[in-house]
Structure 1
Amino acid sequence: MADDSFGAYDDFWLFGYGSLIWKPPPHYDQRVPGYIEGYVRRFWQASEDHRGTPEAPGRVVTLIDRAHWETLVDEHPSPHLTWGAAYHIPQQHVAEVRNYLDIREINGYSIQYTPFHPSHSAADPSPPKPIKCLVYIGLPSNPQFLGPQDPQELAAHILKSRGPSGENREYLFMLEEALLGLSPESGDGHVSDLVARSREIEAEEKVKKGVHGENGDAKDADGRRADIGGAELHKVGSTEEQEEVEK
């Protein structure tokens, strides 16, 4: 539930665990890598307005309460820490940023609050105190929550999905890259496994194209196109990037 007074004393912090890691909110003056506890990050949220369409929803991440996740059947184990980035918003920009976030997070996400632990060295005798952060979560009760999915089918679905913000695979690949850039311990096995599966599928698709040609035309034994009368290929330009709906 939203707390309208949160941030009234220049203490507005936002935790990002998805697209916010590489696409920050406006007006932030501090970005701190770190983690939260008690949640599991999964590509179990449908995206109808950014990485997919209402007719063909894409897949984006949400957080699942660990106690609830442990009641589900999931092929992927999960670390006990969920890494991401926290952003501090100066008091004079809180109202504007909250309005921006409420619009950005309309597709099934709701406001929650959680303690955030800033990253620190193991040799640090006095680690930083936790920071109360606002976080947008697609709860299991929201209509876009999909629940557990077969990883191979999920990877294939991500590869074929796209929406106003671009290809769904871009979201997946950028999320892994952003997570690995936070800390030596910030990788996510669920995300990295989906990336590995997606890369394998992409490689298989390239092999098939190499055999059959870019337009599906059969090639002879020397790899030459047997029928070159097909239509000329045109590169499809990406749509203008819109704001992400995810965290």
Structure 2
Amino acid sequence: MAKDNDEQHTRQIEEFGKNDDFWIFGYGSLIWKPPPHFDKRVPGYIEGYVRRFWQASEDHRGTPEAPGRVVTLIDRAHWETLTDHHEPTERVWGAAYHIPSTHVAEVRSYLDIREINGYSIQFTPFVPSSSPDAPINCLVYIGLPSNPQFLGPQDPDQLARHILKSRGPSGENREYLFQLEVALKGLSAESGDAHVSDLVGRCRVIEGEGKGEGGDGEVESGKAKTEVLEEVEK
């Protein structure tokens, strides 16, 4: 049965987009750093998942020696078996992008490289905020709990401190967190994420403490920006 499901999933991936129906849902950096060649961008949400900074980033917001933290999605049923410090939002907001059939192969190759660090292809109904009665079947990259970069529940204060001190080829980990909050709030009046905003608030407090002590410590501002390469996220 598992083999049959795997084969069916592989066929779905191979055939997706052949009828000019390639849509990808972004819930992290794809919201503010979209894929190439899209001709439509639609704000909206998916249900049945929880967004969390529980995925290690060894290639963009961290290094193999000191991984950063980026978001992934956890199936709501699985999340309910875990111990979390934050309550989930009812919906995971993000943006869906339509890729014309002539560019699907190129964009798929681009995304497979961009999302290589532990993410795999899944599919989910996406609800456009402008047309809630017309869901769209979207491809989405998710770091499943079985992937080696999945970290599971973490203490929020320790997580905030880890994000503040992490950086990788794509830049500082804090930039990813702060940009995500801004991007989410720009989608809708209802699109904020308490988990993301709580981490931002904790980081701001910690940064303030560091400045008050007269030194940057582990929350140094990082004025020498690293070169911005491709993001790891979805």
Corresponding position of 1:50? 60
Verify: 1:194 aligned to 2:199, yes or no. yes
Mapped to 1, the partners of 2:132 and 2:147 lie a distance apart of 36
The correspondence for 1:28, drawn from 38, 44, 61, is 38
- AA aligned opposite 1:37: E
TM-score, normalised by the number of residues in structure 1: 0.87
Mapped to 2, the partners of 1:30 and 1:146 lie a distance apart of 34
Change (3 A) 1:61 1:182: same
Change (3 A) 1:214 1:45: closer
Mapped to 2, the partners of 1:236 and 1:214 lie a distance apart of 11
- AA aligned opposite 2:118: G
The correspondence for 2:106, drawn from 96, 107, 114, is 96
Q: Deviation digits for residues 131-170 of structure 1, max 9, x if unmatched?
A: 0000000000000000000000000000000000000000
- AA aligned opposite 1:239: T
Change (3 A) 1:129 1:62: same
- AA aligned opposite 1:92: T
Shift of 1:64: 0.1
Q: Which moved more, 1:126-135 or 1:100-109?
A: 126-135
The correspondence for 1:207, drawn from 203, 212, 215, is 212
Aligned residues: CA RMSD? 1.4
Corresponding position of 1:245? 232
SS at match of 1:177: helix
Corresponding position of 1:116? 126
> Which portions of structure 1, spanning 4 or more consecutive aligned residues, are displaced by more than 2 angstroms?
none
Corresponding position of 1:71? 81
- AA aligned opposite 1:240: E
Mapped to 2, the partners of 1:10 and 1:19 lie a distance apart of 24
SS at match of 2:30: helix
Change (3 A) 1:214 1:60: closer
Q: Deviation digits for residues 94-130 of structure 1, max 9, x if unmatched?
A: 000000000111000000000000003xxxxx74400
Corresponding position of 2:4? none
Structure with greater helix share of residues: 2
Change (3 A) 1:202 1:6: same
In the alignment, structure 1 segments of 5+ residues that lack a partner are 121-125, 216-234
Mapped to 2, the partners of 1:214 and 1:118 lie a distance apart of 43
Q: Which moved more, 1:1-10 or 1:178-187?
A: 1-10
Mapped to 1, the partners of 2:128 and 2:216 lie a distance apart of 48
Shift of 1:214: 7.1
SS at match of 1:4: helix
Shift of 1:246: 1.2
Shift of 1:79: 1.3
SS at match of 2:161: helix
The correspondence for 1:154, drawn from 153, 159, 172, is 159
Change (3 A) 1:203 1:96: same
Mapping of residues 229-240 of structure 1, within 5 Å: 237-240=224-227
Corresponding position of 2:182? 177
Corresponding position of 2:145? 140
Mapped to 2, the partners of 1:236 and 1:245 lie a distance apart of 22
- AA aligned opposite 1:50: H
Mapped to 1, the partners of 2:216 and 2:54 lie a distance apart of 33
Mapped to 2, the partners of 1:85 and 1:36 lie a distance apart of 10
| Percent identity of equivalent pairs | 77
